Structures are given as structure tokens and as C-alpha cells.
Amino acid sequence: MKTSIKKGLGFGLASGVITTLGLMVGLSSSTQSVIAVIGGVVIIALADGMSDALGIHISEEAENAHSGREIWESTLATLFSKIIVALSFVVPVLIFPLSVAIIVSIGWGLLLIAAFSYYTAQQDQHSSSPRVIIEHLAIAGLVIVASHYVGELVYSLTH
């Protein structure tokens, strides 16, 4: 896989999982509303997907090390992977009760992070797959836990 595309896919996937799970867990904890969670996921898929794509685009340009084609490959890979990954989290919310959908979504997100982390560790002979996977899952876990407690805090301050 071309480095420019791998970079965009990795960034979009990680951001799609972390941002979307943080939003879902926080909104679920603070509102208990299926509509708020679905609306939040769709909005974040589009708005944050475009924002992340622009961020990658500007970052790649600032490096002065990539062709225009490589910059656009990273940009579009980020945009599409972020949108697709984020929107994939709507499916469990449509199928299951919200509390179950959140657990299913967390499992789905952690699986995506673990799979891509394993893939990237295998590409880099200097990285240990288990260490990379654990590191990335730990960061995702911290975001999920923090988002839950922030959601509970928002709920307690508004009710």
C-alpha cells in the first residue's frame, strides 16, 4: 500500500474510532438519547472528517516532502476512511438498545484499532505488535472512560 494512502487511512481510522466513540459514550451518558447519538455520529463523520482531511492536507504540504498527488491521496484517504468508519457506528445504534449498542460499538472500535495497529506493526520490523496494539488500545480506553465521566458530569450539572 502506498505510504500516502496508508497515512490517510490510519489517521482517518484512528480518528474515526476515537472521536466517534468518545462522542457516543459521552452523549449516551449525558442524554440517553438515540437521536442525539445518531445525529452526533453523522455530524462528526462529515464535519470532523472534512476537518481531519484538511489537517492532513496542510500537514503534508508543510513537510515540503510530498508531491501534489501524494498530498491529495492522503487527504482523500483520510476523508473517506473517517466518514466510513464513523458512520459504521450508526449500525449498532439502529439495531440494539442504546446501552447494548454502546458496548457493541466499543468492541467494534477496539477491534478496528487493534487490527490496523497489528497491520502497521507488521510493516515496521522495529515494532513489537503486542506493544503497539496495547498502547493504541490503552489510549482508546482512556478516551472512552474520560468521555463517559464527562457525560455523567454534564448530566449531573444539567439535571
Closest CA to 70 of 121, 1, 145: 1
Which tens digit of pLDDT belongs to each residue from 16-33? 999 999 999 999 999 999
Q: Which regions of the chain does DSSP assign to beta strands (E)?
A: none
- Alpha-carbon span 56 to 76, nearest angstrom: 9
Question: Can you give the pLDDT at residue 29?
Answer: 94
Neighbours of 44 (CB within 10 A): 23
Question: Can you give the pLDDT at residue 159?
Answer: 87
Average pLDDT of the chain is: 94
Which residue, chain included where needed, has cell 462529515? 46
- pLDDT band (50, 70, 90) for residue 52: very high
Instruction: Report the first-to-last Cα separation within the chain, whole angstroms.
Output: 50
Question: Can you give the pLDDT at residue 25?
Answer: 97
- pLDDT band (50, 70, 90) for residue 54: very high
Question: Can you give the pLDDT at residue 120?
Answer: 86
Question: Can you give the pLDDT at residue 124?
Answer: 74
Which tens digit of pLDDT belongs to each residue from 91-139? 999 999 999 999 999 999 999 999 999 988 888 766 788 899 999 999 9
Closest CA to 91 of 108, 77, 79: 108
